[in-house]
Amino acid sequence: MLLAPNEELSRARFTPPPDAKMKDKDRYWDCLDQAMEASHGGRTDEAMAWLEEALRAHPEGAEAHNGRGEILWDEDAVDDALREFEKAIAADPKFTAAHLNRAEILIEELGEFEHVLEVCDELLAGRPELPRPDRSLQAEIYYLKSKALFYLDDLGGALFLVRRAIKAGGDQPVYRAFEGQILFELGRYEEARRVLEHAVALDSESPHAVYHFALAQERAGDPEEAQRAFAQANSLDPQHYPLPEVVDDEVFRGAVSEALANLPRSIRDYVENVPVLVEDFPSVEMVESENVSPQILGIFVGVPRTEASVSSQPPDLDRVMIFKRNLEKICSDSEELIEQIQITVRHEIGHYLGLDEDDMERLGLA
């Protein structure tokens, strides 16, 4: 039976001859090359246009979907980026880069840490439809699992897994820098300094490694070298690593006193006997006993008022501590520092009162 003209055209469109398929694939890879060149040159719109052209030639192109996802992620279009990574995986379940990108965006942007652990375990299981977990892929997966555990406050597990990543993937600077960061958060400053010094030697252009090396140098007792490293991190990435806004102790304590004076009168009456202490940093003992970060801005130590009647701890042990050097590091000017001091003092007073975040917001303490 002869086909009607429209029917013939439709069938030809969806079942092209082999040479047409080959031309489409050639066009696809040519477009990907153009997109990569544009992306490396910082021409993002042009790169996206080439990726769209690639997908017209080959709609199931995993590489093009992954490339779109990476650009969208850079532009903070997180949900759209995640969809592109998932399209890439659907198009080619063995495409490693899309799996790793998806896991990382779930960690860094969406906080789905438990889910990422499950995803990583699936990739390590070696199912035939997924990428083969060779040593290089194992290293990346261990690193991602380490990051997920880090954000879940399992620092011991995170340290174990990043060291497995190093064993599987070799002495990679990003793994070493993260190992040093974990050691720093555990309060193991000398060990962190040695590891981070090595990470900086491997990649002196990594602001993350240089900044954490500066932190470790500072806590390990070498302030001059720490200042040089802070300046280097700032020169590499001024947006994420501003130079500390250093003020003298009198100015800082005055700002803390002002923050207390600005509390609502009813709150001041409750806290007038609670000392508010200013220290440079939390001690190693506090980091270990209170399970807090060395970079914490402030902390209430003691028993909240809501629990005081059932506690045997003497009330004169209650205190709020504000950490000057940590606050200075997150502020780029004095106005921002004063504002952050106000926020931190109010927040820790709220913890003393036993308030949750909603209560603090209602009472003007958030």
Domain contains 224: yes
Domain contains 203: yes
Q: How far apart are CA 325 and CA 246, in angstroms?
A: 8
Quick one: 276 and 236 in the same domain?
Answer: no
Task: Please provide residue 21's backbone torsions phi and psi, each rounded to the nearest 5 degrees.
Answer: -60, -40
Q: What is the pLDDT of residues 153-170, one digit of tens each?
A: 999 999 999 999 999 999
Q: How confident is the model at residue 341 (pLDDT cuts 50, 70, 90)?
A: very high
Residue 319 DSSP label:
E
Query: What's the predicted TM-score (pTM) here?
Result: 0.86
Q: How far apart are CA 21 and CA 204, in angstroms?
A: 47
How far does the chain reach from its first CA to its final CA, in angstroms?
77
Tokens 């996206």: give the residue.
48
Domain contains 202: yes
187 within 8 A of 294, measured Cβ to Cβ: yes
Residue 315 DSSP label:
G
Q: How far apart are CA 318 and CA 282, in angstroms?
A: 16
Length of the chain: 366
Which H or E element spans position 163?
A: helix 155-169
Which H or E element spans position 208?
A: helix 207-219
pLDDT at 299 exceeding the cut of 90: yes
* Cβ-based neighbours of 346, under 8 Å, separated by 6 or more: 259, 263, 360, 364, 365, 366
Domain contains 271: yes
Return the percentage of the chain with pLDDT > 90, whole number.
Answer: 75
Q: What is the pLDDT of residues 22-33, one digit of tens each?
A: 567 889 999 999
* Residue at which a domain ends, from 242, 262, 287: 242
Q: How far apart are CA 179 and CA 142, in angstroms?
A: 12
* Residue at which a domain ends, from 220, 242, 264: 242
Quick one: 196 and 231 in the same domain?
Answer: yes
Amino acid type, 17: P
Domain contains 236: yes
Q: Which pLDDT value is given to residue 16? A: 45
Average pLDDT over residues 210-238: 95
294 within 8 A of 281, measured Cβ to Cβ: yes
Domain contains 256: yes
Q: How confident is the model at residue 279 (pLDDT cuts 50, 70, 90)?
A: very high
- The CATH number of the domain holding residue 272 is 3.30.2010.20
* Residue at which a domain ends, from 218, 242, 266: 242
- Angle (CA) 64-70-75 rounded to 5° is 125
118 within 8 A of 152, measured Cβ to Cβ: no
Quick one: 347 and 267 in the same domain?
Answer: yes
Among 290, 267, 291, 352, residue whose Cα is nearest residue 318: 352
Q: Which pLDDT value is given to residue 355? A: 76
Average pLDDT over residues 347-355: 86
Domain contains 266: yes
pLDDT at 261 exceeding the cut of 60: yes
Quick one: 352 and 301 in the same domain?
Answer: yes
pLDDT at 2 exceeding the cut of 80: no
How many domains are contained in the chain?
2
Q: How confident is the model at residue 351 (pLDDT cuts 50, 70, 90)?
A: confident
Quick one: 355 and 276 in the same domain?
Answer: yes
Q: How confident is the model at residue 226 (pLDDT cuts 50, 70, 90)?
A: very high
- The CATH number of the domain holding residue 235 is 1.25.40.10
Q: Which pLDDT value is given to residue 303? A: 80
Q: How far apart are CA 168 and CA 155, in angstroms?
A: 20
Q: What is the pLDDT of residues 241-260, one digit of tens each?
A: 999 889 999 999 999 999 99
Amino acid type, 352: Y
Q: Which pLDDT value is given to residue 302? A: 85
Q: How confident is the model at residue 140 (pLDDT cuts 50, 70, 90)?
A: very high
Q: What is the pLDDT of residues 286-297, one digit of tens each?
A: 999 888 999 999
Domain contains 282: yes
pLDDT at 9 exceeding the cut of 60: no
pLDDT at 273 exceeding the cut of 90: no
Quick one: 193 and 273 in the same domain?
Answer: no
Q: What is the pLDDT of residues 197-210, one digit of tens each?
A: 999 999 999 999 99
Structural domain boundaries enclosing 205: 171-242
Quick one: 255 and 351 in the same domain?
Answer: yes
Quick one: 316 and 263 in the same domain?
Answer: yes
Q: Which pLDDT value is given to residue 7? A: 36
Q: Which pLDDT value is given to residue 1? A: 34
Quick one: 277 and 356 in the same domain?
Answer: yes
320 within 8 A of 299, measured Cβ to Cβ: yes
Q: How confident is the model at residue 18 (pLDDT cuts 50, 70, 90)?
A: low
Quick one: 230 and 259 in the same domain?
Answer: no
Please indicate whether residue 131 or residue 366 has the higher confidence score (pLDDT): 131
User: Quick one: three-class SS letters along 57-125?
Assistant: HCCCCHHHHHHHHHHHHHCCCHHHHHHHHHHHHHHCCCCHHHHHHHHHHHHHCCCCHHHHHHHHHHHHC
Which H or E element spans position 185?
A: helix 173-185
Q: How far apart are CA 300 and CA 315, in angstroms?
A: 13
* C-alpha 122, offset from chain centre: 23
Quick one: 253 and 204 in the same domain?
Answer: no
pLDDT at 4 exceeding the cut of 50: no
pLDDT at 131 exceeding the cut of 80: yes
Quick one: 273 and 343 in the same domain?
Answer: yes
